[in-house]
Chain A
Amino acid sequence: MADIPAYGELSARDYAEMGLMGGLEVHRQLATERKLFCRCPARRLTDEYHAEVLRHMRPTLSELGEYDGTALMEFKTRKDIVYRINRDNVCTYELDDAPPFELNQQALEYALEICLMFGCSIVGEVHIARKQYLDGSIPTGFQRTAIVGLDGAIPFPGQPGRVVRVQQISLEEDSCREVSDRGHVRTYIADRLSTPLIEVVTKPDLRTPEEWAVAATEIRKLCRASGRAATGAGTARQDVNVSVRGGTRVEIKGVPSIRLIPRLVHYEAVRQRALLEIRDRLRAAGLDEVPERSVDLTAAAESLQFRPVREALRFGGVVRGVVLPPPLARELDTLVGPGRPFARELADRVRVIACLDEEPNILWHPSAEAALPSAAWQRLRRAGGLAEGEGLVLVWGPERDVRTAVTEIADRCRMALDGVPPETRQVMDDGTTGFERVLPGPDRMYPDTDLPPSPLTIDRVEAARARVPAPSWEQEAALVEAGLPAAAARAIVLDGLYEHARRGLAVPGLPPQRVGEVLVDRFRLLRRRGWMGEPLEPEVVEQVFFRLAEGALSREVLPIVLRQLSGCRRADDPDTPEGIFAQQAVPPTAEVDAAVRVVLDGPPPRSADPEARLRYWMGRVMFELGYRAPGRAVRARILAALEGR
């Protein structure tokens, strides 16, 4: 069996040979004050709750009269969905006990502006659709979503003439946060529900794993540049679409960080390739159908010394074996991911759809893994009447769930004859992905009958166009033009600090690299230390730049000043910017000299090296003065004092 190449082992040419392609769906919350269809405050998250509501979801027909495959799958899982609700951030609308209020116009304006920045064609009339989600993540069973713009494009960096094409941008409501999903109970907390977000969907123009990260970063920059996107943990998520030649579009859902994407794309590509190879071997072996065949092994399993099975039997469960034809039996151990044999694909479906989620949830034979002694397998095979070469997949648990599992295992094996089943996958803890749901199609869309369409008149679109800031690539170019290094310019735009930088660059006497140092190095240091409370407004940072240029603040004291300004306060911190600037101002020379005297009179440095001794004294004096004095000045005063001794 072929090994699974690790991430980093394949070249662009290898990916091209595989026919790797795909795109992205970037979800980004908008910085609105309220939610999309009610007046609840947006982004006020808390795990505290005042009540629980229990619901179930049923599939319904689409507008064109079809049932959606995902919907039917979710119905099979028979989940109890529990919502935790807090009266401060959830009202009867989110609970689906009241119809929507009018569409949040601030959110629509923000979405319109972002669409214009992406160069989209703006629709004449915004129609709200219901997109079915039967996983329970939205209590209505559908997400209200509306297309605002279509067919945009942004430049692909470093490749003049190439663009990332944007298929559509929609305005939609965010879903609940999942708390847990065990057995037949899935619990959500509803605070995030209905937060306005935009979804930017690209065309499948990406070709190497790294290109996904580049495109995601560019989209993120443009959203930040708009000034309309919310920032902070949990405000952005990416869905990653991947396929290889002969494979199928598979969607990896909700990737929280861009850094993770290339590895996920790589492993999805090689998974699809492995599945296609399995398909080819099955076809070559003449397998053209997989009948659902299973045997009751409850009695035969009673003597098994395998804890999960014993537990299941103790609680009145059953054991069944799914019998697989020899060509499939031979593929059970074939790797489709690092350490993931094909049989894991079966286990995934059993976990998600039959809700048998205690791992391991299946055992298979033949297998390289020896979970059961070979004699036990022989007994089971005899009891099930298996022929030589046939495969046996053992599944155990409550009878209804086992019945669902048997059907799902047979279904998934059948899909192996077609290669790659269309599905959404979730990111697992080990950096690989696992089956999440059947990939939903257009059949899950349904027009919302609760709200009339909203026209976007020419006047309204033009007014928005006049308002939008320069796009990220123009912002970057302008910063470079003004003397910032390219890396700093990129980082500033990515962090949404263009306006801060523009103001800093306009301060007389302040070198551009100082602006970059503050906005990139200092800001990142602050965030790393958790010292960044509220995002700093451009006006406030501009005051810092002026004082830096005048010499009223030292470079060294900046982290403290910025921490204080961002509201990350400590006990005796002043509460106005003026107070902070006064407290942290560069001290007069006499105060520096006094500190120098104290330090030089104190314990001497251990080193004999003059430079090291000087560094030691400098550190002590800087600390003594709370970093308010510039390092260069302190050094000069120490040298002067030493000269006098």
Chain B
Amino acid sequence: MNRTEARPPLDARPDRFKGYRGAARDLLDRMGVGVWSEVRIHTTRGDFEGLVLPRAESADDRHVVLKLATGYNIGVAVETVTAIEETGYRQAHYKIPEQAFPETPGLPRVTLFGTGGTIASRLDYRTGAVIPAFSPGELYGSVPELAEVCNLRTEKLFGVFSENMGPEQWIALAEAVGEEIRKGVDGIVIGHGTDTMHHTAAILSFMVQDSPVPIVMVGSQRSSDRPSSDAALNLIHACKTAGESDIAEVMVCMFGPTSDQYGLLHRGTRVRKMHSSYRSTFRTVSDIPLAMVDRHAITPLRPDYRRRGEREVKVDTAFDDRVTILYYYPNMKPDVIDALVAAGYKGIVIAGTGLGHVNKQVYPALERAAAAGVHVYMTVQTLWGFVQMNVYESGRDIQERGVIPAANMLPEVAYVKLGWALGHSHDREEVKRLMLTPVAGEITEREPFDGYLILQGGLPEVEEFTRKYRI
């Protein structure tokens, strides 16, 4: 426990009103107390004793937050306060125990790049949110098992939430990864927020080609400030994969089932976040994952992956960000497409219905887009399965208007790939060639039957499965 300290003079307390504003700030000011003051607050609802904590900036200005001796927090309503006495001063020093990450001869060297996800984290008093903690020492302090897996170096590239990742970060990341690989590291791990992890995994698959070592993206669905977090296990799995596995591809390494059993290694171009909150949210779509990983072993599920080896990594970060995804819905009006063209978009990926369809109403707009030199590709909003625009007449009609079927590329993958392709050329045929030539498994030749398996809950045989094998 932090002990009571000597009370600094009020004007020597830099965080005295941290997070407080308006009436609450006035009250603290008037009463001669502040954040980290130990106080007794007299109110019309009784007396309260505790430590004044900083307030989340998004919270109202009508309450003062107190930490009681029991560890509980409460809010005291400003309008009920009659007096506050300061009885002491005790500042919180929040720190993840930091220990030098031990260097073990013989273990693989792994570099962990941070982009701002919550692999390891601590609490931010101002926002009440969780902010990442990241140095090797901090990581070792919270996940000591890592030292048994690899020799770790970490580098924080940016501190952005997953949803704020974009071309600027993708390019910087690809270049950093390439540089690190050229230095001869045994594997790369990239800590990333999970929301757009599959976008980044896809673009990295195009921007970093022929990697001789594994590039493993990892994150957590439950932040590491919770005892049930998946962060530590994901990180252990990712470091193990980066250091030991023979799979030299861009992969996403996240929980297989929601149980703490094993992780799955998903190919970076075939993976998608499929649930807003489940641990097992990442699924390989229209194919099976590359491998399973647990603390003891990496078990490949298929032989056709790129092996670790001696070769030059190619970094190709060309990108044109004038691309968009258009999620088709019934009764879509042509003006939506016209507006995108008018706004200067050069590439549109449509997520169409069924085998890749849009309504007749938008046909003229598709023609106008093609005439304006806009590259339009068709993917499916069913996510699983191929675009097939020859089965129905409407599909043929749409193709005649310049829309190119993008096989079984996932819409998000087609989106980042189109940006990458347009970074290289705006020539219709060259873009088409780039788009339809698979680089990293984004288009497959075949779809195995078990590339699409969503167990339907409630069925007796599924219940038997979930009881026996856990979920």
A residues with a Cβ closer than 8 A to B are: 49-67, 71, 82, 87, 92, 95-99, 120-127, 129-132, 134, 139-142, 145-147, 150-151, 167-168, 170, 441-447, 449, 452-453, 455, 457-458, 461
- Complex contact A53–B259 (CB within 8 A): yes
A-binding segment of B122-130, B324-332, B401-409, B427-435: B122-130
Question: Which among A92, A124, A126 has the highest number of chain B CB atoms within 10 Å?
Answer: A124
Q: Which residues of A contact B60 (CB under 8 A)?
A: 455
CB-contacts of B220-236 with A (<8 A): 221-222, 224-229, 232-233
CB–CB A142/B46 < 8 A: no
A127 contacts which of B58, B62, B65, B225 (Cβ < 8 Å)?
B65
Contacts of B259 in A (CB 8 A): 52-55
Q: CB distance A57 to B228 under 8 Å?
A: yes
Q: With A64-B1, A66-B1, A97-B279 known to touch, is A445 a contact of B228 (CB < 8 Å)?
A: no
How many chain B residues touch A (CB < 8 A): the figure is: 66
Q: Give 6 nearest A-B pairs by CB, closest first.
A: A125-B75, A141-B227, A121-B46, A124-B77, A445-B71, A442-B71
Q: Are B75 and A124 in contact (CB under 8 A)?
A: yes
Chain B neighbourhood of A82, CB < 8 A: 470
Residues in B430-471 with C-beta less than 8 Å from chain A: 457-458, 463, 466-467, 470-471
CA distance A63 to B225 in the complex (A): 10
Contact assessment for A125 and B228 in the assembled complex, using a CB-CB cutoff below 8 Å = no
A92 to B59, CA, bound (A): 28
CB of A447 within 8 A of CB of B46, answer: no
With A65-B94, A65-B95, A443-B1: A51-B466 Cβ-Cβ less than 8 Å: yes
Cβ of A50: which chain B residues have Cβ within 8 Å of it? 463, 466-467
Cross-chain contact of B228 among A55, A92, A98, A127 (Cβ < 8 A): A55
Report the minimum CB–CB distance from A25 to chain B (whole Å).
11
Q: Are B258 and A127 in contact (CB under 8 A)?
A: no
Q: Given that A92-B277, A125-B74 are known contacts, is A54 also in contact with B94, CB under 8 Å in the complex?
A: no
**Are A444 and B63 in touch, CB under 8 angstroms?**
no
At the interface, yes or no: B183 with Cβ under 8 Å from chain A? no
11 A–B contacts, CB within 8 A, in A order: A53-B471, A64-B94, A65-B95, A121-B48, A125-B75, A150-B46, A168-B72, A445-B70, A449-B128, A457-B77, A461-B45
Q: Which residues of the partner chain A approach B56 to less than 8 Å between Cβ atoms?
A: 452
Return chain B residues, CB-CB under 8 Å to A65: 2, 92-95
Kindly report which residue of chain A lies nearest to residue B73, judged by CB atoms. A127
Q: Looking across the interface, which residue of chain B has its beta carbon closest to that of A120?
A: B46
Known: A60-B225, A141-B227. 9 other contacts (CB 8 A): A64-B2, A64-B92, A121-B46, A123-B45, A126-B74, A141-B226, A151-B47, A445-B71, A452-B59
- Do A54 and B260 contact each other (CB < 8 Å), given the known contacts A151-B47, A442-B71? yes
Q: Is the beta-carbon distance between B70 and A52 smaller than 8 angstroms?
A: no
Is B96 close to A, CB under 8 A?
A: yes
Q: Decide yes or no: A126 and B466 within 8 Å by CB, A54-B259, A141-B228, A442-B69 being known contacts.
A: no
A62–B93 CA distance with the chains assembled, in angstroms? 11
Q: Cβ of B77: which chain A residues have Cβ within 8 Å of it?
A: 124-125, 455, 457-458
Residue of A nearest to B278 (CB): A97
Cβ contact within 8 Å between A442 and B1: yes
Interface residue? B43 (CB, 8 A): yes
What is the CA–CA distance of A125 and B227 in the complex, to the nearest angstrom?
26
- Check if B45 sits within 8 Å of A122, measured CB to CB: yes
Other-chain residue from A92, A121, A123, A139 in contact with B47 (beta carbon distance below 8 A): A121
Cα–Cα distance between A168 and B466 once the two chains are bound (Å):
42
For residue B100, CB closer than 8 A to chain A, the reply is: no
Chain A hits for B277, CB < 8 A:
92, 97-99
Asked if A142 and B227 sit within 8 Å, CB to CB, the answer is yes
Question: Taking CB as reference atom, which chain A residue is nearest B51?
Answer: A64
A99 to chain B, nearest CB (A): 6
Given known A-B contacts A60-B227, A65-B94, A447-B128, A127 and B70 have beta carbons under 8 A apart: no
Q: Mask for B204-221, Cβ within 8 A of A = 1, else 0?
A: 000000000000000001
Q: How far is the CB of A161 from chain B (nearest CB, A)?
A: 21
Which residues of B are found within 8 Å of A66, using beta-carbon distances? 1-2
Is B260 a contact partner of A129 (Cβ separation < 8 A)?
Answer: no
Nearest-Cβ distance from residue A421 to partner chain B, whole angstroms? 18
- Given A50-B463, A54-B261, A127-B75, CB of A447 within 8 Å of CB of B123: yes
- Contact: A56 with B225, CB < 8 Å? no
Note all chain B residues with C-beta closer than 8 A to A453: 59, 63, 75
* CB atoms of A129 and B228 under 8 A apart: no
Distance between Cα atoms of A88 and B469 in the complex (Å)? 20
Q: Is the CB of B46 within 8 A of A54?
A: no
Give chain A residues whose Cβ lies under 8 Å from the Cβ of B222: 96, 140
A151 touches B228 (CB 8 A): no
Which has the most chain A C-beta neighbours within 10 Å: B233, B258, B279? B258
A168–B45 CB distance below 8 A: no
- B83: which A residues are within 8 A, CB to CB? none
- Distance between A119 CB and nearest chain B CB, rounded to angstroms: 9
CB distance from A139 to the nearest CB of B (A): 6
Residue from A55, A123, A141 having most chain B Cβ neighbours under 10 A? A123
Q: Which of A60, A130, A145 has the most CB of B within 10 A?
A: A60
Interchain CB contact under 8 A, A124 and B45:
yes
Is there contact, CB below 8 Å, between B466 and A125? no
Q: How far is the CB of B184 from chain A (nearest CB, A)?
A: 33
A472 to B279, CA, bound (A): 48
| A251–B387 CA distance with the chains assembled, in angstroms | 65
- Determine if A170 and B122 form an interchain contact, defined as CB atoms under 8 angstroms apart: no
Contact A151 B71 (CB under 8 A): no
B80 adjacent to chain A (CB < 8 Å):
yes
Most buried by A among B59, B65, B96, B226: B226
Distance between Cα atoms of A140 and B225 in the complex (Å): 11
Q: Say yes or no: A62-B226 contact (C-beta < 8 A), given A97-B277, A150-B46, A453-B63.
A: no
B290 close to chain A: CB less than 8 A: no
Shortest Cβ gap from B5 to chain A (Å): 13
Tell whether A134 pairs with B46 under 8 Å between CB atoms, given A55-B259, A65-B95, A92-B278: no
Q: Which residue of A has the minimal Cβ distance to B74?
A: A123
Complex CA–CA separation, A53 to B258 (angstroms): 7
Q: How far is the CA of A82 from the CA of B466 in the complex (A)?
A: 13
Cβ B76 vs Cβ A125 within 8 A:
yes
When chains A and B are docked, how far (Å) is the Cα of A168 from the Cα of B71?
12
B68 in the interface (beta carbon within 8 A): yes
Given A121-B46, A126-B74, A63-B94 contact (CB < 8 Å) = yes
Instruction: Find out whether the CB atom of B1 lies under 8 angstroms from the CB atom of A126.
Output: no
A120 to B47, CA, bound (A): 10
Question: Is there an interface contact between A130 and B226, defined as CB atoms closer than 8 Å?
Answer: yes
Residues of A within 8 A of B92 (CB): 63-65
Complex alpha-carbon distance, A414 and B262, angstroms: 39
Give the distance in Å from the alpha carbon of A92 to the alpha carbon of B276 in the complex. 11
> Are B471 and A52 neighbours in the complex by a CB distance under 8 Å?
yes
A134 engages B227 (CB within 8 Å): yes
- Chain A residues in 8 Å Cβ range of B258: 53, 95, 97
Q: Quick one: given A124-B63, A127-B72, A445-B71, are A140 and B1 in contact (CB under 8 Å)?
A: no
User: What is the chain B residue whose CB lies nearest that of A440?
Assistant: B71
- B467 and A51: CB pair below 8 A? yes
Given A52-B466, A53-B470, are A442 and B94 neighbors across the interface (CB < 8 Å)? no
A145 to B70, CA, bound (A): 12
